[in-house]
Amino acid sequence: MSNYTQIIGIASGILTSSSLVPQLVKIIKEKKAEGISLGMFVVLLIGLGGWVWYGVEKKDIPIIATNCFSFVTNVLILIFSLKYKKKEANK
Amino acid sequence: MSNYTQIIGIASGILTSSSLVPQLVKIIKEKKAEGISLGMFVVLLIGLGGWVWYGVEKKDIPIIATNCFSFVTNVLILIFSLKYKKKEANK
């Protein structure tokens, strides 16, 4: 694999990963999680875990790095969503 | 690459891709796009385009298929979001 391909993978990984961050910031800032489907997040987490596994099998660093980062960001989104959903339910 | 690795990639692709669909359905059903950051979607689309390119360079079918599907789904989310945002602005 050339360095050039590696750079495309890393750049794409940074873009798709960073697109998750505003969602997390928005939930923490507004302290509410409406519009977020929890079922969707569970499916997404299983899928991201699978991609990390796939990356390990293929020894593909951009795939592993991107999906690990996305996995952690989505776990944080899930935790904050559940926290604010619970608070709303208690009102 | 073994068939087993290919299966992990395809299964992960189906999971991460399908997690986008409820978001699209929700926007179309509720005819509103609140909670969706448009700037985030543009960054995501550029990133997904990059992943397709990366998949082509590495001749990696699961990467190409998953990111093409995600790209199309996100373009649809973007189109419907813009449509409903415009309507809300005209109210």
Distance CA A6, CA B86 (A): 40
**pTM of the model as a whole:** 0.83
pLDDT at residue A35, as a whole number: 61
pLDDT at residue A34, as a whole number: 65
Residue range(s) defining the domain that contains residue A44: 3-89
Which of A40, A51, A53 has the CB atom closest to B23's CB atom? A40
Positions in chain A short of pLDDT 70? 1, 33-36, 88, 91
Give A34→chain B minimum CA distance, Å. 8
Which of B19, B40, B49 has the CB atom closest to A43's CB atom? B19
CB contact under 8 A, A54 and B37: no
3-state percent breakdown (helix, strand, coil) of chain A, nearest 5? 85, 0, 15
Residue in the block written with tokens 């991609």: A51
Distance CA A83, CA B54 (A): 37
What is the domain count for chain A?
Answer: 1
Asked whether A36 and A89 are in contact (CB, 8 A), the reply is no
Distance CA B42, CA B73 (A): 13
Distance CA B49, CA B17 (A): 14
pLDDT at residue B38, as a whole number: 74
Is residue B23 very low, low, confident or very high in pLDDT (cuts 50, 70, 90)?
confident
Task: List Cβ neighbours of A48 (8 Å cut-off, separation of 6 or more).
Answer: A67, A70, A71, A74, B12, B16
**DSSP, residue by residue, B51-66:** HHHHHHHTT-HHHHHH
Give B16→chain A minimum CA distance, Å. 5
CATH of the domain at B17: 1.20.1280.290
pLDDT, tens digit, 9 for 90 and up, residues B28-83: 888 876 666 777 788 889 999 999 999 999 999 999 999 999 999 989 988 888 88
ipTM score of complex = 0.80
Does residue B44 sit in helix, strand or coil?
Answer: helix
Distance CA B57, CA B53 (A): 6
Size of interface A-B (CB pairs under 8 A): 108
Residue in the block written with tokens 């509720």: B30
